Amino acid sequence: MRVLGIEGTAWCASAALYDSGTGSVVVESDAYEPERGGIHPREAAEHMRSAIPAVVAEILEEADGDVDAVAFSRGPGLGPCLRIVGSAARALAQTLDVPLVGVNHMVAHLEIGRHESGFDAPVCLNASGANAHVLAYRNGRYRVLGETMDTGVGNALDKFTRHVGWSHPGGPKVEEHARAGEYTELPYVVKGMDFSFSGIVSAAKDAYDGGVPVEDVCRGLEETVFAMLAEVSERALSLTGRDELVLGGGVGQNERLRGMLAAMCEQRGAEFHAPEPRFLRDNAGMIAVLGAKMAAAGDTLAVADSAIDSQFRPDEVDVTWRDPEPPARPDGDVVQGAEATVRFEGDRVVKARLPKGYRHGALDARLRRDRTVLEARLTSDARRVGVPTPLVWDVDVPEATLVLQRVGDADLRDALGEARVRDVGRHLAAVHADGFVHGDPTTRNVRLSAVGGDDRTFLIDFGLGYYTDDVEDYAMDCHVFEQSLAGTADDPGPLVAAFEDAYRTAGDPGVLEQLRAIEGRGRYQ
């Protein structure tokens, strides 16, 4: 099958020809480069209007008339650009009398990595200009396990470089200057598998304005932002039990980010793949490759049903072209979690936060120390307000090690049920009422006991928790739990409803109102 793909979600007008028989991908691109500032939608659309016909003509000449389908980026992206691409694709498909395929741009970023690597069921990190998220495939869809709650990672870097006075795009300039810089401490914001960049960018601007050399600020930005992305990727691997990771998105061209992800995967025994650079930045090659898979599965569009969607979420896509994923890798007596290695010794659990080779040494030491202390304190505080938690028997802060009581017989991830999920709702309401959050309440951090009449639901691993009286923080705790349900349950809807019903009864209903606001701010709403 030979598929012509057209891409134009924001800044890059691109067309490509993919031949599934030979595996060859020919790409022609013409990128919009603003003279100053960021991407302006009207100027980007004007660029698309002139550039799309030119790049398509180049590919048609390469195809020599032999095209079996036309695929186009349907969203997400800038509406004016998407409409031009959509119109071009419809006209071309009708002229050639071939099927039309509408491709989700972000899923294409992920699928090109899976296509190149040959991985069966990887966790996928997308790090692009307007977006950042971590996903895994389950039960016919990609599930968003974590995402940015404010701005995309590339846009975050661009905001800093515009402040400095550098031209678009800013990412390569940050990378270049960071090589000559010393690490500068900036805020580190991970909430479960969600993250936020706005506070980091503000701190970076303040540091630069305060006289910190720009090279040092750039180094701090890379070390902080990319360590956050590596950490949430590892959390997703741990939650899903997968041992494969693929990278997508233009920011994935950054050498330091790729190095961090590779080091993280090597340390935990996972495999990592980053596509070649031409498939990381926006390009029509990935649109054509996924378009061929969709067309082969019969996933095509009638012209009347091919409207673009500038807010097209990856978890709205029915994945018609994939086989069921293999089972998760089982755990043994030693469990490698996202941030710690857990060793079971009879009725004890020895939890060691070993150094993370991908993180800068100073940042790593700070996180390991602070999280060990907080886990010990908050585990005890939760127990004090009636939430079942392990007893803390020993704390070694310099070695970032805890000795805890071994609790439960299974993770909630492996034994999901409405009654247990209701327990979690009540437990989170109790800790929130006492003025702190769990920080990472995933289905992997809930343990279940049902032996000898001890029918309890335990919360474990409070290492990302903190004291707060902000309803936003409580709502984020709930958001993290519901995302983990979406990533580990075949039918998460009834479980989410049971969780919220229990929380509403036991806690502050205003937290759930704030949860709706958080969901509305998501990058893919």
- d(CA 385, CA 434) in angstroms, rounded, equals 8
- d(CA 336, CA 265) in angstroms, rounded, equals 12
Same-domain pairing of 254 and 298: no
CB 483 within 8 A of CB 194: yes
pLDDT 10s digits, 157-189: 999 999 999 988 899 999 999 999 999 999 999
Same-domain pairing of 11 and 22: yes
Considering only 27-41, 85-99, 367-381, 447-461, which range has the smallest mean pLDDT?
27-41
Q: Which domain holds residue 383?
A: 334-521
Q: Given this model, what pLDDT does residue 135 score?
A: 93
pLDDT 10s digits, 101-142: 999 999 999 999 999 999 988 999 999 888 899 999 988 889
Number of domains in the chain: 3
H/E/C letters for each residue in 45-78?
A: HHHHHHHHHHHHHHHHHHHCCCCCEEEEEEECCC
**10 Å Cβ neighbour count for 64?**
9
Confidence of residue 525 (pLDDT cuts 50, 70, 90): very low
The pTM score is: 0.90
Q: Given this model, what pLDDT does residue 458 score?
A: 97
Q: Which two tokens stand for residue 400?
A: 């970032």
Same-domain pairing of 305 and 189: no
Same-domain pairing of 9 and 50: yes
Place of tokens 């709702």: 425
* Catalytically active residues, by annotation: 440
Query: Percent of the chain at pLDDT above 70?
Result: 95
With 0-12 / 13-18 / 19 or more C-beta atoms within 10 angstroms meaning exposed / middle / buried, residue 304 is: exposed
420 falls within a domain: yes
Is the pLDDT at 446 greater than 80, yes or no? yes
Nearest residue to 5 (alpha-carbon basis) of 51, 95, 74: 74
Nearest residue to 132 (alpha-carbon basis) of 8, 203, 230: 230
CATH number, position 490: 1.10.510.10
- d(CA 34, CA 45) in angstroms, rounded, equals 12
Same-domain pairing of 41 and 143: no
Same-domain pairing of 272 and 283: no
Alpha carbon of residue 489 to chain centroid: 18
Q: Which two tokens stand for residue 437?
A: 């959050």
Q: What is the mean pLDDT of residues 298-325?
A: 91
CATH number, position 303: 3.30.420.40
pLDDT 10s digits, 348-393: 999 999 999 999 999 999 999 999 999 999 999 999 999 999 999 9
Q: Which two tokens stand for residue 239?
A: 């939650």
R_g (Cα) of the chain, nearest Å: 24
Average pLDDT across the chain, whole number = 92
Phi, psi of 151 (to 5 degrees): -125, 160
- d(CA 33, CA 43) in angstroms, rounded, equals 10
- d(CA 170, CA 178) in angstroms, rounded, equals 12
Same-domain pairing of 183 and 302: no
Same-domain pairing of 395 and 487: yes
Query: Percent of the chain at pLDDT above 90?
Result: 81
Is the pLDDT at 421 greater than 70, yes or no? yes
Place of tokens 């807010």: 311
211 falls within a domain: yes
Same-domain pairing of 348 and 385: yes
Confidence of residue 29 (pLDDT cuts 50, 70, 90): very high
| Residue 441: cis peptide before it, omega within 30 degrees of 0 | no
| Helix ranges (DSSP H) in 297-360 | none
Answer with the residue of higher pLDDT: 332 or 413: 413
Q: Which long-range contacts (CB under 8 A, 24 or more apart) does 394-400 make?
A: 397/369, 397/372, 397/373, 399/352, 400/352, 400/353, 400/354, 400/368, 400/369, 400/371, 400/372
Place of tokens 């970023």: 109
Is the pLDDT at 150 greater than 70, yes or no? yes
Segment (H or E) for 78: none
Nearest residue to 213 (alpha-carbon basis) of 257, 186, 180, 187: 180
Q: Given this model, what pLDDT does residue 31 score?
A: 86
